[in-house]
Structure formats: C-alpha cells, structure tokens
C-alpha cells in the first residue's frame, strides 16, 4: 500500500519562513560586526597603558551595534510570514 497525494493532505510548515532565516542571518552578521569593532587597543608592552582602549568606537559604537543586532534578531524571530494564496 503506497501513500497517495490527495488534496486533503496538509503541507508541512515550519515555525519560521525563509524570510525569517534570512533576517536571522543578517542579525548575526550585525552582531559579529559589533564584536569586531570592539577588538584592538592592546598595548605593545604590559608596562605601558594605551589610551586607545577607551576610544569612541570601542566604548560607545560597538556596544550599540551589538545591541541593535540582538534587537534585530528578536524582530527576525517575531516577524510573521506573509500569507500565500493556495
């Protein structure tokens, strides 16, 4: 006995659509960019203090970018897929 495709069978649907997964990927890239912005500022010698650690990019910009990335991830998960006519 083989299964036949009848019109009454329901199509399997995932919780997230293809668009949601694309948005999740974009959010992940934003978070990685934020962490890359935090890198650097190391002193050549441990005896010397480097003021570059407290630059605007590392203290202000990078955390804002990371936070935006996490908010974007929440949006990507919560976004409802568009209804398709079938």
Structural domain boundaries of the chain? Answer: 18-78
pLDDT of residue 85: 63
According to the 3-state scheme, what is the secondary structure of 15-63? CCCHHHHHHHHHHHHHHHHHHHHHCCCCCCCCCCCCHHHHCHHHHHHHH
pLDDT of residue 44: 82
pLDDT tens digits for range 18-64:
999 999 999 999 999 999 999 987 778 888 888 888 899 999 999 99
């Amino acid at each position: 006995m083989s299964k036949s495709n009848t019109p009454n069978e329901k199509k399997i649907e995932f919780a997230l659509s293809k668009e949601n997964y694309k948005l999740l990927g974009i959010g992940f890239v934003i978070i990685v960019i934020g962490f890359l912005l935090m890198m650097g500022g190391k002193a050549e010698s441990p005896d010397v203090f480097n003021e570059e650690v407290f630059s605007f990019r590392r203290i202000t910009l990078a955390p804002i970018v990371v936070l935006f990335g996490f908010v974007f991830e929440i949006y990507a998960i919560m976004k409802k897929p568009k209804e398709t006519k079938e």
